Amino acid sequence: MQYETIRLSDRDGVAVIQFNRPEVMNALNTQMRAELLHAVREAEKTARVLVMTGKGRAFCSGQDLGDRANAANLNLERVLRDEYEPMLMAIYECAIPTISAVNGPAAGAGANLALAADVVIAAESAVFLQAFTRIGLIPDAGGTYWLPRQVGAAKAMGAALFAEPVTAKQASDWGMIWEAVADADFEDRWQSRAAHLANGPTAAYRAVKEAIRGSFDNDLPQQLGLEARLQGRMGKTRDFKEGVMAFLEKRAAQFEGR
């Protein structure tokens, strides 16, 4: 597939999707959502980690409202169900670890697109903005799902109602994201984090995601049972055997990853 609104690269097990509409701060339109969905599905077939980031000064400014006539007549329920939901679920269910490298402002659906990844690393100059009530809407694109789970109901409610920017530092302090990094170090940091995951045990990472996500719906006996089942599966992998041998031989493990 030829991409126009994004760029997809894959090197050394790291797939990078770069949003490529800098003239509109990487705002999401129908074409971009379709291309992002396709790119995520393609990347997980061959890569060992997936990174999403933006070109230019923004990560993603959310829904493209540049065409005011069309924006006012959008069937928002259809767009969310038919375009956003498949894209977000592809990211959420991705078989490899996912990183949002938030290089600049992430607003509206763009903020929640960032939060859909397993790990969020943001430049200190970045901000997260639940801008929806500014135009008479509610947070969508998973915002009412991610935020309460990551920062609690009080912070989620305030972010949604007041629609005020949350700095990367605040987001890190709240537990919304993994870390905020000085702008000068940002690119090196997310690249090193991605390389670390690309060299790791992908099957174990997939099981980690299943276990942590399952914990929100399980009581303690159910979660202990899930851990046991997943650990039993991991104990039969070549990566586990390699990890043990590497530990005993005092060397770096060479994981197969799949």
pLDDT digits (tens, 9 = 90+) for 123-163: 999 999 999 999 999 999 999 999 999 999 999 999 999 99
Residues ≥6 apart with Cβ < 8 Å to 123: 102, 103, 104, 168, 180, 181, 182, 183, 186
pLDDT greater than 70 at residue 100: yes
Rg over alpha carbons for the chain, rounded to the nearest Å, is 19
Model confidence at 10, pLDDT cuts 50, 70, 90, reads very high
pLDDT of residue 67: 57
Please, what is the Cα angle at 156 between 153 and 162, to 5 degrees?
A: 130
95 and 136 part of one domain = yes
Please, what is the Cα angle at 26 between 21 and 27, to 5 degrees?
A: 115
Helices 220-234 and 202-214: angle between axes, nearest 10 degrees: 170
115 and 97 part of one domain = yes
pLDDT of residue 257: 62
Q: Whole-number mean pLDDT of the chain?
A: 94
124 and 230 part of one domain = no
pLDDT of residue 1: 78
Cβ-count burial 60-80 (b if 16+ within 10 Å, e if not): bbbbbbeeeeeeeeeeeeebb
For 233, list phi and psi in degrees, rounded to 5: -65, -45
pLDDT greater than 80 at residue 178: yes
Burial class (CB in 10 A: 0-12, 13-18, 19+), 17: buried
- Least confident stretch, 1-5, 53-57, 247-251, 253-257: 253-257
User: Is residue 254 in a domain?
Assistant: no
88 and 46 part of one domain = yes
Tell me the mean pLDDT in the region 46-63.
97
Residues of the chain with pLDDT > 70: what percent?
Answer: 97
Tell me the mean pLDDT in the region 175-193.
97
Number of domains in the chain: 2
* CATH number of the domain encompassing residue 179: 3.90.226.10
* Strand 166-167 to 127-129 pairing: antiparallel
Give me the domain span that covers residue 214: 202-248
90 and 136 part of one domain = yes
Residues ≥6 apart with Cβ < 8 Å to 208: none
User: Is residue 1 in a domain?
Assistant: no
35 and 130 part of one domain = yes
174 and 242 part of one domain = no
* CATH number of the domain encompassing residue 214: 1.10.12
- For residue range 58-91, what is the model confidence (pLDDT) as tens digits? 999 999 987 554 666 678 999 999 999 999 999 9
Model confidence at 37, pLDDT cuts 50, 70, 90, reads very high
